[in-house]
Structure 1
Amino acid sequence: MKTAIALASLAAFTTSVQAQYFALTAVHSGSPIHFLPVNAAGGILQLGGISTHYCPETVQHEGGCPNTVFTNFLGGNGGLSMGALVPGGQVAYVDPKCGAVKYTEPHSAFIPVGAITDGFSFTQGSSFGILSWGEGFIVSYDDSLNHHPLSEHVLIFKGLQ
């Protein structure tokens, strides 16, 4: 099953110098995942659930933390990153062992050997855009992950070859 991930633009079109952030939403009509948001939590991208955020207390005090309950993304012209305000950002990648779409930890550029960081493409439509990747995306609920704190959510994997 291939699933499209639609993008809701969060910023007006601007010059190419300024980054355009967007949210991701799964679109697969007639399925339980239809219109679930794509969120980052626990090192993986998932459908549904709550996006995890961290904002230092000093920044919170100054009112500089984003007021959001979803994950912001940017990219789609080869790579995909989260709209994280940390040095080096946070890059999405396809895990070479299990095929799950994961992301780097804050303040770390570590990506496993063999991970795929390119191939993400964005096509703008009239009211929303489509994010795609190579062979497509597959979503899966895996009962074997019942020990994992995110087991109630749907995980995103690379498409089958």
Structure 2
Amino acid sequence: MGLLSGIYGIVLRIARLLKKPKTLPYKVISIGNITLGGTGKTPAVIALAEEAKRRGFQPCILTRGYKGKAKGPCFVTKGEEPLLDVSQAGDEAYLMSEALSGVVIIKCADRYEGGMFALNSQLLTLNSQLIFILDDGFQHCQLNRDKDIVLIDATNPFDNGKLFPEGRL
């Protein structure tokens, strides 16, 4: 198992070196984690979007839409009701679309492409109040971020300290 974790670590490093990250023309905040599994990313994204709206910002969420069948980029919601069902959006993206009002949510594995899709949609007001929030974006190295919010499981912050598949890092 140690050999597989070593290979996995090398592949991750090479991928990060080969991929030149792109930059969206507005602020990008990522919510993510360093271990596999749930750490409350979806509730954190919802809370951040709600707080951003409360402070006068216009949040737009970019999500991979894990396990959703719809091919992106596509709207999960344009800020009102969900436009995709849970099987198309993925459960976390659908949950966010149900929980948030007035927030555009885009499903696309390539978050830069999703962001450009959002910008070209003419749904967003293009001004300094626009911010993109990446759901599960900490390890998404294709897009530059202005801020990373990294969540950890306080009961088991770094699992056993080993990379996947030997551990949860």
TM above 0.5, yes or no, is no
Q: For the superposition of Structure 1 and Structure 2, which TM-score range results when normalised by the shorter chain?
A: under 0.3
TM-score by length of 2: 0.26
TM-score by length of 1: 0.27
Q: Greater relative contact order (Cα 8 A, min sep 6): structure 1 or 2?
A: 2
Which is higher, the Rg of structure 1 or of structure 2?
Answer: 2
